Amino acid sequence: MKSNLFKKLSPIMYPLASIAFMLLVWHLLFVWVGSEFIFPSIGATLAKLGQYFVSGKFWLALLATLGRVLLCFAISLVLAIAIGVLTKFVPPVGKVLSPIIALFRSAPTVAVMVILILLVDTLFTPIIVGLLVVFPMLYASVTSAIDQVDVGTLQMCHLYNVPKIHQFKYVYLPTVAPYLLGELPATLSFTVKLIISAEILSYSYQSIGGLIQSANVYEDMASLFALTILSVLVATLLDVALTFVAKRVKGGAR
C-alpha cells in the first residue's frame, strides 16, 4: 500500500525536493553574502515577481517576446521542412546549401548579434539571430529524420514509379513526423532563451530582454532574479505545452 502511494506521489515529490534544495542553497548564499544589492533574498525576489504579475508593462513585454519567439520558431520550422524535403528530392540543392548552413551553425552567436545590432533595427535583431541559430538546428533534425526512411521502401517506390507527392505523403511523412515532433519542444525552449539573450544585447524596447537590461543598468538584483525565473517559467511552459501537443498528435496518428 505504502509502495503504491510512494510511486503515485514520486512524480511530485522529487521536483518539490529539488526546488526545496535550490531554495535552501539560495537562502544560504544570501546569508553568506549578506547584501540585497549583491545577492537578493527569496522574499525580495518574490516581492518583485508579484509586482511584475500586476504590471501591464511586464505583460506587454512578455507578449512582444513571445511573438518574436513564435515567429522565429515557425519560420525556421517551415524553412527547415521545405528545404529538407527539397534537398532530398533535388540533391544538388543540398550540396549548394550545405556550406551555407554549416557557416550559420558554426558562426559565434554573440558576434553575429553584435554585427546585426549595428546593421539592423533592434526590433528585428532578435528574430534574425534566432533564425540563424534555430533554422540549422531544425534543418539537421529534418534531414536526420528523412535519413531514417526505409531504403527498401524507397526502392519499391522507384521500381513502381510512385509519384513524388505520394512518396512524401505515405512514406516520408509518417517517418519524419514522429521523429521531428520529439525534437521540437526542446528546440522551442532553446529559442526562448536565445531570443531573450538577443533582446538583452540589442536592448530591444518593450521585451523581457529589455527589462533584464534595464534591471542590470540600475543594478536591481531582485528584478534580475525575478525576470530570470519568469524566463525559465515561460520556456518550461512552452516546452510542456508543445510536448503535450506532440504526444496527442502521435496518439492521433496511431
Split at pLDDT 50, 70, 90, the class of 3 is: low
User: What's the pLDDT tens digit per position in 216-229?
Assistant: 887 789 999 999 99
pLDDT digits (tens, 9 = 90+) for 52-100: 998 889 999 999 999 999 999 999 999 988 888 888 777 787 788 888 8
What pTM does this model have?
Answer: 0.84
In a domain, 216, yes or no: yes
3-state secondary structure of 122: coil
Q: How far apart are CA 213 and CA 203, in angstroms?
A: 7
Task: With a cut of 60, say whether residue 252 has pLDDT above it.
Answer: no
CATH of the domain at 62: 1.10.3720.10
Taking the CA atoms of the chain, what radius of gyration do you get in angstroms?
23
131 belongs to a structural domain: yes
Q: How far apart are CA 67 and CA 121, in angstroms?
A: 17
Q: What is the DSSP letter of 195?
A: H
Task: Tell me whether residue 11 is in a domain.
Answer: no
Domain-located, residue 231: yes
| pLDDT tens digits, 139-197 | 888 888 877 777 777 778 777 777 777 777 777 777 777 777 878 888 888 999 999 98
Residue 250 has pLDDT above 70, yes or no: no
Residues of the domain holding 177: 55-253
Q: What percent of the chain has pLDDT over 70?
A: 93
Q: Which has the higher per-residue pLDDT, 159 or 254?
A: 159
- Please indicate, yes or no, if residue 81 is contained in any of the structural domains: yes
Given a cut of 60, whether residue 50 has pLDDT beyond it is yes
Domain count across the chain = 1
Q: Is residue 39 part of a domain?
A: no
Residue 232 resides in a domain: yes
